[in-house]
Chains A and B, each alone.
Chain A
């Protein structure tokens, strides 16, 4: 099962909005509404920020939002803050040989 495709890096200035894409196939992202997103700061465990494409767990800022079109899911962060600088990973349920696949990760730099 190949990893989902994410851009290696994105950047934005404080207050701006950025979008991170996550591209898969009809066997994963395109076939199910089971895409999740995680934020990971250096040396820390991943933090769950989006599930089921668009839902936010309790306590997660509304500045984080998710969407999907076809085989590509997206995470949008609005009103960028310095603390948003981190690595971001998407994951999806998949009907492939393994049931879960992660994206390769995207490093967000807040300029």
Chain B
């Protein structure tokens, strides 16, 4: 059974940085695109970023492009999200999710439990 476990969330001041991790197990991590999706408590899902299975291609939402960097270590079965220049509006629960194999893939059936990032002074 596939499992995704996020970590690294917490309280950070505006302008600060944080790195989220997502440890994957139960499936061949290196075969799949991976995504980050965030959700302000009480609000809707918002797609953040995705990375190709071999790490060669990454896409970002307009709101985070230039500030966030997605990466992966297939040897460690781990996905990362480096978040810099954090803003109050980045406060949310961040989920990692498995994608598919094609370039048209989206988040699919396997999601983590989420990690809360709070940006506040």
Task: Please list the residues of chain A having a beta carbon within 8 angstroms of any beta carbon in chain B.
Answer: 1, 3, 32, 34, 36, 38, 40, 45-46, 48, 51, 57, 87, 89, 91-93, 97-105
Residues of A within 8 A of B112 (CB): 45
Q: B106 touching A100 by the CB < 8 A rule?
A: yes
Residues of chain B at interface, number, CB under 8 A:
24
A-B pair count, CB < 8 Å, reads: 66
Interface-side segment among B14-22, B45-53, B75-83, B84-92:
B45-53
CB contacts under 8 Å to A, within B67-115, are 95, 103-109, 111-114
Q: A102 touching B45 by the CB < 8 A rule?
A: yes
- Specify which of B35, B62, B107, B114 lies most central, judged by the most chain A CB atoms within 10 Å of its CB: B107
Q: A102 touching B104 by the CB < 8 A rule?
A: no
Q: A99 touching B45 by the CB < 8 A rule?
A: no
The minimal Cβ–Cβ distance linking A75 to chain B, given in whole angstroms, is 15
Compute how far the CA of A2 lies from the CA of B100 in the bound complex, rounded to whole angstroms.
23
Interface string of B16-31 (1 = CB under 8 A from A): 0000000000000000
Residues of A within 8 A of B46 (CB): 3, 102
Compute how far the CA of A103 lies from the CA of B43 in the bound complex, rounded to whole angstroms.
11
B44 touches which of A36, A51, A89 (Cβ 8 Å):
A89
Q: B60 touching A92 by the CB < 8 A rule?
A: no
Other A-B contacts than A46-B45, A91-B45, 11 sampled, CB-CB below 8 A, are A3-B46, A36-B107, A40-B45, A45-B95, A48-B109, A51-B108, A93-B106, A98-B59, A98-B61, A100-B50, A100-B106
Q: A104 touching B60 by the CB < 8 A rule?
A: no
Residues of A within 8 A of B50 (CB): 99-100
A1 touches which of B45, B62, B106, B113 (Cβ 8 Å):
B62
The minimal Cβ–Cβ distance linking B55 to chain A, given in whole angstroms, is 16
Compute how far the CA of A105 lies from the CA of B44 in the bound complex, rounded to whole angstroms.
6
- Closest chain B residue to A95, Cβ basis: B104
Q: A93 touching B104 by the CB < 8 A rule?
A: yes
Q: A91 touching B47 by the CB < 8 A rule?
A: yes
Q: A101 touching B47 by the CB < 8 A rule?
A: yes
**If A98-B61, A100-B35 touch, does A48 touch B108 (CB 8 Å cutoff)?**
yes
Compute how far the CA of A69 lies from the CA of B21 in the bound complex, rounded to whole angstroms.
39
- Specify which of A3, A89, A99 lies most central, judged by the most chain B CB atoms within 10 Å of its CB: A99
